[in-house]
Amino acid sequence: MREIIFYRTHTNECPIEQFLDGLNSKQAQKVTWVLQLVEELELVPATYFKKLTNTDDLWEIRIQQGNNIFRLLGFFDAVNFVVLTNGFQKKTQKTPKAEILLSEQRKKDYLMRKNK
């Protein structure tokens, strides 16, 4: 079992909650279902959870609802904790570099503040 944690900024803002608040009810329902899979399944199919190559150990949670494709980026903190840093609607084949950089920056911030 894994536990999903939402990253919070130093001002206590939660980018994942803000992203989820912008989804309609069907989209939010599908995201919730996929998050539950990631938490409960020992081996999550790559359709839903995949390590991103050429990153600082980032993972993406992959959601498709109708024609909409969403990604939630994050990283592992310890063995069973997945910290989600940002979410976006995917419009191209590749994950946008800006989203990867943002996630890596938030990972550094999270780890720095955690270790203080």
Going by the DSSP 8-state scheme, the letter that residue 41 receives in this structure is -
Per-residue pLDDT tens over the stretch 21-57: 999 999 999 999 999 999 999 999 999 999 999 999 9
Produce one character per residue of 84-93: b if its CB has 16 or more CB atoms within 10 Å, e if not: bbbbbebeee
pTM (whole model) above 0.85 = yes
| pLDDT at 19 exceeding the cut of 90 | yes
Q: Are 52 and 59 in contact (CB under 8 A)?
A: yes
**Domain range 3-114, CATH architecture:** 2-Layer Sandwich (3.30)
Token digits of residue 46: 């790559």
Per-residue pLDDT tens over the stretch 71-91: 999 999 988 899 999 999 998
pLDDT reported for residue 93:
86
